[in-house]
Amino acid sequence: MVGLRLCLDPGHGGSDPGCVAPGFVESEWVLDVTLRTASFLLGKDTAWKDRLTFTRLTGERGPGLYDRARCAHRYGARLTVAVHCNSTADEREHGPLVFYQGGSMTGMPIANTIALALASRGGEYVDGDKVRPMLRHSLAAKPSPHWSGRAYNVMEPHGARCCVVVEPGYASNAWERAWLLSEDGRDQVAAAIAAGVLSTA
């Protein structure tokens, strides 16, 4: 996508904190990672300052789904990357998931690039009396399920031409949450998202 215009969409915000775990608030974490992603892109090419917008830049306001789509549409974004974080009642659940609109020939390679970059981080976690590899999936880019499908149904017809949803880990997994909260973890996630965006050039 030559001259790609990009919309970065940190999920939740305002009265919607997203998932909450000890020391972790999703809406705050995704905003920080989104800003780091922008810094990575600007470090590669300062022209991004004229080709990049955000659905929110503070924690005070959480736009609705249609507002996010309108933001992308008004800006003329050809790609929107929505950043979230996973959580589940099963504290053993872990690993990144990256979603794209089923059948999207543009979204699939971007999602694959991000998923592979996240998968390369490796690591281990303790599961009872066993130490297991950190990642359950070697490749975790998938067509969109459940709520993500609704996000694409809104975003793609009414906003960006392509939308990818990134969930780099589970805040409900203590080991993974510690990594997500670390400076290194935040930078690795941001670099992975930037790699997906740059793969379109």
For the segment 166-186, what is each residue's pLDDT rounded down to a tens digit? 999 999 999 899 999 999 999
**Domain assignment present for 108:** yes
Print the domain residue range for 57.
6-198
**Domain assignment present for 1:** no
Q: For position 128, which CATH number holds?
A: 3.40.630.40
**Domain assignment present for 98:** yes
Q: Beta strands 24-25 and 97-100: pairing type?
A: unpaired
Partners of 54 in beta bridges = 8
Spatial distance between the Cα atoms of 79 and 6, rounded to a whole number of angstroms: 5
Q: Which amino acid is at 27?
A: S
Spatial distance between the Cα atoms of 2 and 143, rounded to a whole number of angstroms: 25
**Domain assignment present for 100:** yes
Locate tokens 């950043």: which residue? 83
Element (H, E) at 191: helix 183-198
Locate tokens 């409900």: which residue? 172
Q: What are phi and psi of 11, to 5 degrees?
A: -65, 160
DSSP-based three-state secondary structure for 79: strand
The separation between the first and the last C-alpha atoms of the chain, rounded to the nearest angstrom, is 5
The two tokens of residue 119 are 């998968």
CA dihedral 96, 97, 98, 101 (to 10 degrees): 180
pLDDT given at position 31: 97
pLDDT given at position 125: 45
**Domain assignment present for 68:** yes
Question: Is-contact 118 185, C-beta < 8 A?
Answer: no
Q: How many domains does the chain have?
A: 1
* Rounded (to 5) percent helix, strand, coil in the chain: 40, 20, 35
**Domain assignment present for 165:** yes
| Segments of the chain scoring below 70 in pLDDT | 1-2, 121-160, 201
**Domain assignment present for 78:** yes
Q: Which amino acid is at 98?
A: V
The stretches of 22-166 forming alpha helices (DSSP H) are 26-44, 65-75, 107-119, 146-158
pLDDT digits (tens, 9 = 90+) for 105-117: 788 889 889 988 8
